[in-house]
Chain A
Amino acid sequence: MTTDSITRARRAPARGSSEWLRFGPRAVSRPVAFTVVALAGAFLLLMPVIWIVSTSLKPDGEVYAIPPTLLPQNPTLEHFVSVLGDETVLRFFGNSLVASAGATAISLLMGIPAALGFARFRFRASGMLLGAILVTRMFPPVALALPFFLQFRQLGLINSPVGLVIAYIPIVLPLVIWMLEGFFRDLPEELLEASRLDGLGTLGTLLRIVLPIAKPGVAVAALFGFLAAWNEFIIALSLTRTPDAQTMPVGIAGYITQFQTLWGDMTAASVIYLVPVLIVTVVTQRGIISGLTAGATKG
Chain B
Amino acid sequence: MERNAPGDAIHLAPRRVAEATRAPAPVRAARHGRRGSLVDRRRRSGMLLTLPALLTLAATALYPLLWTMSLSFQSFSLAVGGEEPAFAGLANYERVLGDAAFWTAIGQTVGYVTVTLTVELLVGLPIALVLHRETRGRKVLRLVVALPLMIAPVVAAMAGKFLFSPGYGLVNEGLAALGIDGPAWFADPWLARAAVLSTNAWLALPFVVLVLLAGLANIPGELREAAVTDGAGRWRILWHITLPLLRPSILIILVIRLADAFRVFDAVYVMTGGGPGSATEVLSTYLYRQMFTRTDFAGGAATSVLFVLVIGICAGAVFLSLRGRRGER
Contact = CB atoms under 8 A, between A and B. Distances in A.
Given A114-B53, A149-B291, A34 B135 contact: yes
Contacts of A18: 135
B265 A48 contact: no
Interface of B: 1, 3-4, 6-8, 10-11, 13-18, 22, 27, 42-50, 52-54, 56-57, 60-61, 63-65, 67-68, 71, 127, 129-130, 132-135, 137, 140-141, 144-145, 147-156, 158-163, 167-170, 173, 176, 199, 202, 205, 217, 220-222, 224-225, 234, 238, 259, 262-263, 265-266, 269-270, 283-284, 287-288, 291-292, 297, 300-301, 304, 307-308, 311-312, 315
Given A113-B52, A140-B308, A171-B1, A238 B292 contact: yes
Report whether over half of chain B's contact residues are helix, strand or loop; otherwise say mixed.
helix
A229 to B, nearest CB: 8
Interface string A121-148: 1111010010001001111111111111
Nearest to B16: A295
Report whether over half of chain A's contact residues are helix, strand or loop; otherwise say mixed.
helix
A150 to B, nearest CB: 6
A299 B21 CA distance: 8
B139 to A, nearest CB: 12
A202 B48 contact: yes
Given A178-B11, A230-B152, A249-B153, 18 more contacts: A4-B225, A5-B225, A9-B134, A17-B133, A114-B53, A123-B42, A139-B65, A140-B283, A145-B291, A149-B291, A182-B11, A224-B3, A224-B4, A227-B4, A231-B153, A249-B266, A274-B150, A295-B15
Contacts of B45: 117, 121, 202
Interface string A19-59: 11000000000000011001001100111110110010000
A52 B170 CA distance: 12
For the complex of A and B, the 7 pairs showing the least CB-CB separation, nearest first, are: A295-B14, A121-B46, A117-B49, A182-B11, A114-B53, A147-B64, A224-B7
Interface residues of A, number: 118
A270 B153 CA distance: 11
A110 B58 CA distance: 13
Contacts of A81: none
A94 B18 CA distance: 40
Contacts of B288: 142, 145, 234, 237-238
A277 interface: yes
Interface of A: 1-2, 4-6, 9-10, 16-20, 34-35, 38, 41-42, 45-49, 51-52, 55, 63-68, 70, 106, 109-111, 113-114, 116-118, 120-124, 126, 129, 133, 136-151, 166-167, 169-171, 173-175, 177-179, 182-183, 185-186, 202, 206, 220-221, 223-224, 227-228, 230-234, 237-238, 248-249, 252-253, 255-256, 263, 266-267, 270, 273-274, 277-278, 281, 288, 291-292, 294-296, 298-299
